[in-house]
Amino acid sequence: MYLYDELVKRADRPVQVGLIGAGKFGSMFLSQVPTTLGLEVKAIADLDPDRARQSCRTVGWSDAQLKATEFFDSTQTMIDAGGIDDLVEATGNPIAGIAHAKMAIAAKIHIVMVNVEADVLAGGILAKEAREAGIVYSMAYGDQPALTIELVEWARASGFHVVAAGKGTKYLPEYHYSTPDTIWDHYGLTPEQAAQAGMNSQMFNSFLDGTKSALEMAAISNGTGLKAPDDGLSFPPAGMDDLAHILRPRSVGGQLEDSGMVEVVTSVERDGRPVYKDLRWGVYVVIEAPNDYASACFKQYGMNTDSTGRYSAMYKPFHLIGLELNMSILSAALLNQPTGSTLDFHSDVVATAKRDLNAGEMLDGEGGFTVYGKLMPASKSLAVGGLPIGLAHRVKLNNKIKRDQPITWADVEIDRGTEAVITRQAMEALYRASE
């Protein structure tokens, strides 16, 4: 791509970035700005502009850089001020993310969607609208979906069949029922230590209870066409050396229901023992040799394969999240290309009960006390009327729901006149019409 060469050419007219949300991801990106030639943060929008200023100071910004940056408490006001090439949406709030994407599309500003929650909720229609407006709608490089899609693209462009793709995490089945009150035990922290570090219990719980994994696999599926398992992610334990053996179809001795799937591997065995050479922080793709000659080459060049020699895996054992975000920003601004983008609606993440719930209870979204997100094929979600996890915020249940039961649109009282609901239902209608 030679992005750096392009930056050098235009060092006197830097790419101008507008950042929405100066939390952990945003702060990691901000830390790279002073050392990146040809890129400037023109403005930051945050509900608390003073907190955003402090985030900049914390990551090492000079007083001169702070003075050169505008701070807003409104995204629309920031956009209206003008001069932004790329908008980075890093709030993590799915409803806000849809609104901000709509603002960027209306203003014809490239958008880098760190907010995977919003992307899975309505990315199919947002990306379509962005393409029609002539702008880039991009996943965020550094986050696992974009990094995984990069591996899938490498494999397909090289002529390999993609058997499986996904990421690693720490998972045990009981984590689905974790709440913000129990989360820190799993991280080896006290609530006091977490509070001192500024760690949000509900956000971190969404990483642990399987919701974030489901969202990220849905994003990969929707950006590649890889399929979601029919009954959700199974999280098999697998180390780097075992990926090609475990993540192949059941028909040839693996654990996948079919070839061409997304899946997450866990870093702990079901009895709690650590997996050898785990991929907890990384991403992977499992490929199949298209012929005997390619299979022989796998062996000749030291590829780690399954026992047949036909399946192999490539992986990246880390992701640096916001430290790598420049790749998306610069690819959009300089090359007019996304680093992964939603292409279709193949997979969905449906709100699923963490415990038996009663009519009248209020759902509290990703990482909360009431629901976790379960990955399923979009066709199945549409057939059952599944309520997307991104809309399971402060909505009241109409019915009793058993633990592990998916929640449907019919089970909740929800305002169907909000922008997020209208956008999501427009996407559902679009894909029902295309079936």
User: CATH no. for residue 23?
Assistant: 3.40.50.720
Which of these three, 319, 337, 356, is where a domain ends? 319
Residue 204 lies in a domain: no
Do residue 296 and residue 310 come from a single domain? Answer: yes
Do residue 313 and residue 282 come from a single domain? Answer: yes
Q: Among 21-25, 262-266, 279-283, 367-371, which stretch is predicted with the lowest mean pLDDT?
A: 21-25
Cα separation, 265 vs 316, whole angstroms: 14
Which of these three, 274, 299, 319, is where a domain ends? 319
- In Å, how far are 131, 151, 356, 366 from 127, measured between CA atoms? 6, 21, 37, 23
Tokens encoding 67: 């003075």
Contacts of 433 (CB under 8 A, 6+ apart): none
Do residue 166 and residue 129 come from a single domain? Answer: no
pLDDT in tens, 31-90: 999 999 999 999 999 999 999 999 999 999 999 999 999 999 999 999 999 999 999 999
Rounded to 5 degrees, φ, ψ at 333 are -75, -40
Q: Minimal CA–CA distance to 125: which of 339, 342, 338?
A: 342
Give the pLDDT of residue 195.
77
Cα separation, 138 vs 340, whole angstroms: 6
Residue 341 lies in a domain: no
**What range defines the domain where residue 426 resides?**
347-434
What is residue 41's three-state secondary structure?
Answer: strand
Which of these three, 302, 319, 336, is where a domain ends? 319
Torsion of CA 98, 104, 110, 113, to 10 degrees: -20
pLDDT in tens, 130-154: 999 999 999 999 999 999 999 999 9
The residue-averaged pLDDT of 321-343 equals 96
Do residue 135 and residue 149 come from a single domain? Answer: no
Going by the DSSP 8-state scheme, the letter that residue 250 receives in this structure is G
Q: Give the chain's radius of gyration (CA, Å).
A: 22
Percent of all residues in the chain with a pLDDT value above 70, rounded to a whole number: 99
Do residue 222 and residue 114 come from a single domain? Answer: no
Do residue 284 and residue 360 come from a single domain? Answer: no
Do residue 159 and residue 277 come from a single domain? Answer: yes
Residue 256 lies in a domain: yes
H or E element in which residue 349 lies? strand 347-353
Give the pLDDT of residue 434.
77
Residue 264 lies in a domain: yes
Give the pLDDT of residue 198.
65
Do residue 235 and residue 356 come from a single domain? Answer: no
pLDDT in tens, 173-218: 999 999 999 998 888 888 888 877 667 899 889 999 999 999 999 9
Give the pLDDT of residue 393.
95
Cα separation, 221 vs 198, whole angstroms: 32
Pair 181, 368: CB distance under 8 Å: no
Do residue 225 and residue 120 come from a single domain? Answer: no
Give the pLDDT of residue 433.
79
Residue 395 lies in a domain: yes
The one-letter amino acid code at 91 reads: T
Tokens encoding 320: 């640096």
Q: Minimal CA–CA distance to 114: which of 143, 136, 85, 137?
A: 143
Do residue 283 and residue 358 come from a single domain? Answer: no
- Mean pLDDT, the chain, integer: 95
Do residue 283 and residue 315 come from a single domain? Answer: yes
Going by the DSSP 8-state scheme, the letter that residue 322 receives in this structure is G
Percent of all residues in the chain with a pLDDT value above 90, rounded to a whole number: 90
pLDDT in tens, 185-195: 888 888 888 87
Residue 124 lies in a domain: yes
User: CATH no. for residue 384?
Assistant: 3.90.1210.10
Residue 400 lies in a domain: yes
Rounded to 5 degrees, φ, ψ at 396 are -95, 140
Side-chain-side CA neighbours of residue 347 (13 Å): 32
Residue 5 has pLDDT above 90, yes or no: no
Give the pLDDT of residue 77.
98
The residue-averaged pLDDT of 224-241 equals 97
Pair 130, 98: CB distance under 8 Å: no
Do residue 376 and residue 313 come from a single domain? Answer: no
Rounded to 5 degrees, φ, ψ at 162 are -85, 115
Give the pLDDT of residue 435.
67
pLDDT in tens, 77-123: 999 999 999 999 999 999 999 999 999 999 999 999 999 999 999 99
Residue 333 lies in a domain: no
User: Number of folded domains in the chain?
Assistant: 3
